[in-house]
Structure 1
Amino acid sequence: MLGGTFDPVHLGHLRSAVELREALDLDRVHMIPASTPPLRGEPHVAPAERLALLRLGIGDTPGLTADPRELCRDGPSYSADTLASLRGELGERARLVMALGHDAFRRLADWHEPERLFALAHVVVIDRPGFEAPLPAALKALLAGREVGSPEALMARPAGSLLRLALPSRMVISATEVRRRLAEGRSVRYLLPEAVEARILAHGFYSGS
């Protein structure tokens, strides 16, 4: 599971999903747009359009799927509820992973039912190179005894562990910067998949963001 607002989806999101699948030898990566993210502001584009852009971005990429389950659910997009839904479909023995970036990881103790996340899945943090700030005390307590040092150790059981993972490409692309460039009428070429860029420009998304 790789969640986010995908507002809009960009090449950093998609390349991370591909490299995450390779690094952990995953069957597939569910890219799940949030409808109402509890700890972030309201997305700039409607959920159905963000999902359509995500599907365009993924195209025929093997092992990646645009999963609309959070858009079909009322209320805040709690990751614990999403993982429970995936766990119900995949069964108790399946190895389930929730991947997130370093900024989201540092706030993990503030998420809804953070202990439940580990009961349902492993957590994989996509490390940010050169970022070494100490973790908040509540996060340290949540992670106590959970961290493992390799994908093999992570996959030894269905859930409950934490792995920090450095991906090869480390593409640093900001959706905020993409929106700013679109609002200013500047080029976003090579930041977005061509099909995503074409749809955004055709419909004028983010032009007033």
Structure 2
Amino acid sequence: MARRIGILGGTFNPVHIAHLRGALEVAEQLALDELRLIPSARPPHRTAPQATAEQRLAMVQLAVEREPRLAVDDRELRRDKPSFTIDTLESLRGELAADDQLFLLLGWDAFCGLPTWQRWAELLQHCHILVLQRPDADSEAPEALRDLLAARSVNDPQGLVGPSGQIAFVWQTPLAVSATQIRHLLAEGRSVRFLVPDAVLAYIQTHGLYRGQTDS
């Protein structure tokens, strides 16, 4: 039988409950065999994270260690160049069977920014795209994506067929949590308990991460 693999990339600086809850909801809703969180090493669209790649990887591993539906993939940290999603998809496809389904999870903002991504028009050759949207989202896709949505989107994510090539929207539980917010709280010496898993919080405290550090 064809396997169903989801991937969620990000800096995870640090990983938090919105990342994890969103991933778990998709894994359950689409009955995925596995959903992999993929920490990025050198994100091309962002400044370098304060925590090292090894620290961010360790936090993600701690966050998912007791959830069998979620896994961690460190391939981008082992790559000696910026983390382009198209490279990751090509690498994954080389390891999967031809009929395995691959699902790329993207938040709405990331999806709207696709036209700025490296070789973005080739992404759907390798995967389906699942756009994660909160029920209160009311923005529209940029003009550069409207033709793509008209041609490739399906109404029901359960209706995605074949190994790749389609787009579907998945409604998510609203969780107004961000890594930026968490870093600001930590920099101010405030608690982030219940915003990150307890094991991640313990790691942050043990290693003194984000203390006195502020960013935008």
TM-score of Structure 1 vs Structure 2, range by shorter chain: over 0.9
Shift of 1:66: 1.0
2:151 aligned with 1:145: yes
| Contact kept? 1:143, 1:162, Cα under 8 Å | yes
**Which residue in 2 is equivalent to 1:17?**
23
User: Counterparts of 2:149 and 2:80 in 1: how far apart (Å)?
Assistant: 30
**Which residue in 2 is equivalent to 1:205?**
209
SS across alignment from 2:106: strand
User: Counterparts of 2:45 and 2:99 in 1: how far apart (Å)?
Assistant: 31
| Contact kept? 1:35, 1:77, Cα under 8 Å | yes
**Which residue in 1 is equivalent to 2:194?**
190
* Correspondence for 1:8 among 5, 14, 18: 14
User: Counterparts of 2:71 and 2:134 in 1: how far apart (Å)?
Assistant: 25
Render the CA deviation track for 1:130-184: whole Å, top value 9, x for unaligned. Answer: 2222221112234340000112321x211010001002x3322111000000000
Shift of 1:105: 1.0
Q: Percent identity?
A: 45
The normalised TM-score by structure 1 is 0.95
| Number of residue pairs aligned between Structure 1 and Structure 2 | 207
SS across alignment from 1:177: helix
Alignment of 1:123-162 (within 5 A): 123-154=129-160, 156-162=161-167
The normalised TM-score by structure 2 is 0.92
| Contact kept? 1:124, 1:162, Cα under 8 Å | yes
Render the CA deviation track for 1:52-99: whole Å, top value 9, x for unaligned. Answer: 010011122012111100000011100111011111111221110000
Which letter maps to 2:29? A
Which letter maps to 2:168? L
User: Counterparts of 1:171 and 1:59 in 2: how far apart (Å)?
Assistant: 22
Alignment CA distance shift 1:143-1:113 (3 Å): farther
User: Counterparts of 1:44 and 1:30 in 2: how far apart (Å)?
Assistant: 23
**Which residue in 2 is equivalent to 1:102?**
108
User: Counterparts of 1:77 and 1:15 in 2: how far apart (Å)?
Assistant: 24
**Which residue in 2 is equivalent to 1:68?**
74
SS across alignment from 1:163: strand
| Contact kept? 1:181, 1:188, Cα under 8 Å | yes
Which is worse superposed, 125-134 or 81-90? 125-134
Which letter maps to 1:164? F
2:171 aligned with 1:166: yes
| Contact kept? 2:8, 2:35, Cα under 8 Å | yes
User: Counterparts of 2:136 and 2:18 in 1: how far apart (Å)?
Assistant: 18
Shift of 1:36: 0.8
Alignment of 1:50-61 (within 5 A): 50-61=56-67
2:87 aligned with 1:88: no
SS across alignment from 1:117: helix
| Contact kept? 2:157, 2:169, Cα under 8 Å | no
**Which residue in 1 is equivalent to 2:51?**
45
User: Counterparts of 1:139 and 1:172 in 2: how far apart (Å)?
Assistant: 26
Residue ranges of structure 1 left out of the alignment (5+ in a row): none
